[in-house]
Structure 1
Amino acid sequence: MSTLFPNYARRPVHLVEGKGTIVTDNNGKEYLDFTSGIAVLSLGHAHPAIVEAIQRQSEKLWHTSNLFESPEQEKLASSLIKETHFAHAFFCNSGAEANEAAIKLARKHTGKHVIITFENSFHGRTFGAMSATGQEKVRNGFGPLLETFRTVPFNDIEKLGAAIDESVGAIMLEIIQGEGGVNQITPAFTRAIADICKSKGILLIVDEVQTGIGRTGTRYAFEQTVLQPDIITLAKGLGGGFPIGAMLGTSELHDTFGPGTHGTTFGGNPLAVAVAQAVLDNIFTNEFLFAINEKSSYFMDKLKEALPAYKIVGSGLILGIICPDEVAPYITQAEQAGLLLVAAGPNVIRLLPPLTVTTQEINQAINIIASILRVPSMLQVPGTRNII
């Protein structure tokens, strides 16, 4: 019997090494990693910039209390808010922690306790974040949750409008629901939310834990919409594999989070901040973001070409293949064929390669996917252009 709690449905693969998009198990078998640790490894495995940042910082300072000044946190915060309407950042250790901070900030600032969230959303597994999550399977078995979340159908303007009253302090949403099925927000819904928030004085929280830091082809996914959130939350790709989370907010919220209102022992520690800064220095460039969009277009086109009977959804390098049946067997078959995938709900294969993935690796992945979905591959073409 394992000495670990069985709260993860672990796969029988022991990964021991990784470089870029390729990982190796303890038997020497190589896999294409199109999970990226679930959208975490933004620069792939063992990226030189991250390795160097960890090595350099590890010889200087690992941890210091947040009671002391941190110019490094100030620099990272400046990098995150640059050329946005945000003014301040709070650093923590994970996406769930970032969402907890956002919930606390919104409730304290507005003095209102009701937050609107959406069906099939996912915001984390702490009690507050779990209460905000619009998936019953995440909440089952834990007794009474926080009662001040009001969950409505995603992209349903009429139901959203009916849920708004004077007790609502904030709306919390994902631009793309990653865990709930790679469900994209519609332009009409974004306009409705923007109008409601402006007319009713309601705060908008956008959960960018999975979609932020270049994953959708822009720094943040909300930048592709009309939305101007008051708060966004970040984690996953921000650390490129090292645990760090962040909450960004506007200047109007500054005084609400004064000393003693919220805190963390390890959040924004020197190692995490050094790694996150290296990640941003690589991703937050026009050249890198342009390459993500090129690879996304290539990936989408080739998926549609290879899988004409399947609907392909998503944006940037968070894509989904909607299947008519449950995808768990396909994911197992792909693993056996050397491709690591993850589901988004029961019927969607989610594709989350590192942002550094090459077109050659995309072709290899599509060939495997086409084979397990019983579709003859159309991509066995030599000399395909490779986007770095």
Structure 2
Amino acid sequence: MSDSIFLYLKMKKRNLELYLHIPFCVRKCNYCDFFSASGTEEEQAAYVSALIQEIQSYQELSGEYEVQTIFLGGGTPSLLTPEQIEQIFDAIYHTFSVNENAEITMEMNPGTVDIEKLHAMKAAGVNRLSVGLQSAQNEELKMLGRIHTYEEFLETWKLTEQAGFKNRNIDLMSALPGQTIESYEDTLSKVLALEPEHISAYSLILEEGTVFYDWYEKGKLDRGAWKLPSEEEEYAMGELTIQRLAEAGMHRYEISNYAKPGKECRHNLGYWDRTEYLGIGAGSSSLIKGERFDHIRDRKAYIEKIRNGESILIDREILSVESQMEEFMYLGLRKVEGVSRTDFQNCFGKNVDDVYGKIFDKLEEEQLLEFSGDRIRLTHRGMDVSNCVLAEFLF
């Protein structure tokens, strides 16, 4: 082996994604089951200090990797002050090798930023924003428990333009209590008129522990102004999403995600392709060298343990080959392009048909799965019932 090849192999680093969890919000939305809650300025400052200390603790690990994407999620990361944003990213850049073309996303809610804060985000390297709108109807926003109106969202959107951001996602939700096909179509029309680069469009799921789930259990969503749309109406909203976004030049590249060409979320694609990722902060998860581990879901305990140099891990699992094959299939099939037979062979040294042949036959017969050359992907019908289809790939 020549010296140059040896040096290249020695210096070549593995790709890594960073996820930083900011578990603070102004108030909990009625549908939200994420690990987040309101907090004082003092609590937020203490958490940021602990977060920075955790980032710095990965100095040894970081030498093996080059960071390709960074994602600040929550909660509401845009509640951070400009100074806290600068401090967090300074710690990241001093600890990790970050690719000069890295995608760096920050989630934000309308009404939580001003132009100064947006400039601070941009100066720190943030080049992609994910804005939580959910609906363009003020009655629906109030019912969801959102802290903003549609008019306040528009003000925030204009500020992101003034700050020079050119890669922005808008989150939308359908099948909401009291929502009609007409009100949802109006939301789509208003949002598409803004020409966002990316849209994440989710259908409401009633999660245990949320206000909505409690209302559902008590029958409050079965009647009246907050009645849930029927299954037929929910399906119609999904079809309307696909149609209207395609007409606007936004292609569907994953079950719930649509983008203009070249504006797909690289961070999320990394999850679905099983790129290694490191979660930082309370409640975050990681996948490093075939091991999955989770952090404690308690802000106060997280801060105390970081300060005292104690472990913040609550679960660790070395993934078996079977578990990795499961993830390859049920994550990869979320993408419209599906998975590659060749990639499966290269990852596991096995022919995917030898492992999943019987399942393939069943799903193809039910018109839920289709095959094209090297690719295996869900059909349009398969996308509609994806949860049931993907569960078939669990051993």
Whether TM exceeds 0.5 here: the answer is no
Q: Looking at both structures, which has the greater relative contact order when contacts are Cα pairs under 8 Å and sequence separation is at least 6?
A: 1
Q: Normalized per residue, which structure has more helix?
A: 2
Bigger radius of gyration: 2
Query: What's the TM-score once normalised by structure 1's chain length?
Result: 0.30
Query: What's the TM-score once normalised by structure 2's chain length?
Result: 0.30
